[in-house]
Structures are given as structure tokens and as C-alpha cells.
A and B are shown apart, each in its own frame.
Chain A
């Protein structure tokens, strides 16, 4: 059985590589087709550039070549480990990306964990008595979370907590000031992301639990003398988790795009902002690698979901074609 899992992972990694290749071309094309010539930006920033300088700069950056040959050149160097340099930061892309990546991981990681920790118990509780007051309250909360656009929520939180109450800062990471400041800076962005994510997870957990509780084996467990809590936590939840895990993993992609928006609102220096700034500033290399990284993250999350699902469900783990 072990080798089936390895084969599975191997084939998925191959698929990931192929998707990345395709994505790299698509993104390269899209960025290349965008209006705005980086050389023009340079000229407007430095009017003393002569036409000779311009021609030279074009040649240096390879901008005098057609798109497809530029892509191939990029691909060539990328595969040999050279991901190019960021124009905006005048440093190699990998070096630039590091801190941004870390910040985003912190933001996403905390939101992710928090939303799971909140959503699952609430979802279980709501499923206990569908239609009850508790259930309806929880449902309302979930709908609110899903319906509020992330950017609006972020702005609202800023208005209330930063401007009116001055509890939390509206931007930055507060890194310079030590732990406490870092946490304070993270608060609002995390809350923004978490509220939305919790809403989605809550709905899925609740319906998966309700569905599971309807199955026959639940009655058999009750007949053994199990209390309602025992039934829900020891039997219903493990079974309900199977579909929920898939949803969690798939929502990772959405979490990332939510993070993008949130980072922009809060001027939080994460991947989202980096991608945004690099696209706006026509920094090809950085934007390209940033977007590809986003792709990798989503694909990795999907792979993790499949593996987790297989691990949780013995029917898949031990090979059942029923």
C-alpha cells in the first residue's frame, strides 16, 4: 500500500510541475501584454535619460525581443536557478520575497488556525439541534461572515478600532517594537480574514454534521448508552470531517486571495501587497514569481487535502472500491 501512496504523490508532483509551467506562460503573457512599458516608467522617473540610454536599457532588460523569446529566456534561467532580479528593489527576487512570504504565512496561518478553532465547535453545536435558537444565531453569524466583502470589513474595522478607539494600528507589522506591537498590528488583518473564513467553514461543518447525524449508525451508538456529546464528538465529527477537510483545503486558495485584499487595506507587507506593487510597477520578475508562488501554495493545499482525506478515511487508505 505504501508504494501506492508514493506513486500518488509522485504523479501529483508531476502534475503540479506541469501546471506551474502552463501558469508561468500565462502569467508571463498577461504581464507582458499589460499597458505600461517599464522603460517609460524609468524615463518619467529620470528625464535625463538619452535615447541611447533607452536603447541600451531595453537591450539589457531584453525588452527589444519578442514576447515568446523573452519567455523562453526567462524559463531557461529560472530552471537553472536564476529567478532574476526585482527591478523595484534592485535585488534578486528570492531575497526580496523572503520577508513578504513570512508575513503572509503568519497572517494566513493565524487566521486559518483561528477560523478552524472557532468554526468547528460552533458548527458542531449548531448541528446539535437544527432550528434551535442557538443554531439560528450561529447561522446568522456565519452568513454575516460570508456576505461581508473582505475589503469592506477591513475598512470598517479600521474605522472602529483604529480611528475611533485607537486600540489597534491600521497598518504595518509593528516589527520594530517587539512582540506586543507585532500582535497588535496583526489583530485587525487577522480578524478581517478570520471572520470571513469562519463563516464559510461554519456552514460546511454544520451541514456535514447534520448529514452525518442522520445516518443509521448514530442511532446504534445511542443504543449503546452514549450521551449526545459522546455521539457528536467521537463518532459524528470524525465522519463529518471527511468532506469538511476537503473544503478546508480548497478554501486555502480563497484564503490567499482574501489575504491579498486584506494586506492592501492594512498596508501589511505581505505577498499580496508585493504582488500588487510589482504588477503596478511593471516589475516583471517579481510579479511573475509572486503569482507562481501563489499557484504553488494552492496546489500544495490541494495535495495536502487529498493526502489528509486518504489518511482520515480508512476506506480510502486501505483500498476499498465499494
Chain B
């Protein structure tokens, strides 16, 4: 069965300030996202996880390899097929304060994807906007307000609503919780789980937080220095990690209730 989204031997290099002169953001990365699952891409800063997500969305060109949407090579999509791809795979970003145009009302920001794809008339769009807001726990009346009137958690809900409004099959979430308070994070995670079930979505969830990944993912792929170090079902990764880096990563996470650290000791 063809995966919904797949990376095949993706490599991307930047000219950077490493001693050798180039930074390898993606190093022969192959990965697949199956329909209906939540795959968490876990890694620290510089691991390449955001670059991989952008490559899979066709937002960043790669030096070699292919990103596939179903059977099609994303790089070859044009016109209608490209638009169809964009409708099918949406994205939610990390910073709720930067992802909404501060000069547009929430309703206009939400209606924008519909306008771009030529869906519905004014009335239809208004209806869809109201429905989208309600599905993320806000009210239809919020459409008239400006983004700055909302808290970080609420803005992230709006961003999720915007991702949903085109009725996508899959959503890429790039560190959607990192900028939020811990109690809010839990609410958003619950919302995301709900929406996934109701609308039969597929999630590609990028995070540096192993705890979050464990809470929401079916499968986890661990990235380090541009490579997929290990991938597998969530519980297997946590209970029986195979790679050294994975073990190191898991061991580094502070555990609630484990008591005070011993320190390095002398």
C-alpha cells in the first residue's frame, strides 16, 4: 500500500559555517507516513526534523532524492495537482504569535485558504469559518476579532482551525506546543487527538519533547544530525530502544517522581 507521504533518500546541504563549509541538514533520509497514523519526528535542534517536514511539503528543494505524495513526485506537481496536494496536506507552525497576520481578523485569516482555492461563495465561506472555529473549541463570534485579542493557546487553536478548513487528509505539526504553557499543551493535545479521530486525519508531529511524542504518536522516528537514527512503534522505542542515541535521549528526560538527582558525583 502506498504511503500517504514518503521521503526517499532525501539529501540536503546548506553552505554554512561548519569547518568543512557545508552543513548537511538531511543525510539520505527515507521515511514514510501511512494514512491514519500519527508519526512523531523527534530530535534536538539541528537534527533536520523541520527541514524534513518542509521537504515533504515541497517547501524546500532538496539536493537529491524524492519526496512523494502517494504515487506522485512532489517536485513534479503543477497547477491543479499541486493545488490538490496543498489542500490535502496542511501545516501548523510553532509560534502562535507569528503565524497569524495581525492585521486581518481571525475570520479573514481562516477564510483565506478558501479564497485561494476558490471554494464556496461568501456565505459558504462564512459558514465554514464558523464551523472550523467551533470544532476547535472557540465560538463563531470570534471570527470578527483580531489575533492579538487571543491567548497563545487560543491562537494555536485558530491555526489548527485554519489547517482544517480545507478538509485535508494530513496535517504536519511543527512543534505546535513548544511555545505554550504546560497546562495548555495538554488541552491542545487532547483537541488534536479528538480531531484526528473525528475526521480520520493523519499527523506528522514534529517535536523535541519525547513526552509529547509518547502521548500522541503511534510511531516515532528519531533524528540526529540529519539522519533517521531509529524508527518504530512508540512503546517499543521507549521500552526497548535499540540505538545509542535513542537511549541517550530517553535517559536525558527528567522523570517526575524519580527524586532528586545524584549529580555526577565525585
Contacts and interface: CB of A to CB of B under 8 A. Distances in A.
Contacts, number: 5
A321 B22 CA distance: 13
Contacts of B16: 321
Q: Is the interface of A mostly helix, strand, loop or mixed?
A: loop
Q: Which 5 A-B pairs have the closest CB atoms?
A: A321-B17, A320-B17, A319-B17, A321-B16, A322-B17
Q: Is the interface of B mostly helix, strand, loop or mixed?
A: loop
- Range class of the B interface residue count: under 10
A317 to B, nearest CB: 14
A321 B16 CA distance: 8
A75 B17 CA distance: 45
A320 to B, nearest CB: 7
A138 B19 CA distance: 48
Nearest to B15: A321
Interface string A215-230: 0000000000000000
Interface string A301-322: 0000000000000000001111
A320 B16 CA distance: 9
Contacts of A320: 17
Contacts of A322: 17
Interface in B1-35: 16-17
A322 B16 CA distance: 9
A322 B17 CA distance: 9
A319 B16 CA distance: 11
A286 B45 CA distance: 63
Contacts of A319: 17
Interface in A274-322: 319-322
Nearest to A322: B17
A319 B21 CA distance: 12
5 contacts: A319-B17, A320-B17, A321-B16, A321-B17, A322-B17
Contacts of B17: 319-322
Nearest to B17: A321
A238 to B, nearest CB: 24
Nearest to A319: B17
A67 B40 CA distance: 75
B13 to A, nearest CB: 15
A250 to B, nearest CB: 29
A305 B16 CA distance: 27
A321 B21 CA distance: 12
Nearest to A321: B17
A120 B12 CA distance: 48
Interface in B49-91: none
A284 B16 CA distance: 52
A99 B206 CA distance: 71
Contacts of A321: 16-17
A104 to B, nearest CB: 44
A292 B84 CA distance: 62
A309 B17 CA distance: 21
Interface string A105-144: 0000000000000000000000000000000000000000
Interface string A147-190: 00000000000000000000000000000000000000000000
A241 B249 CA distance: 43
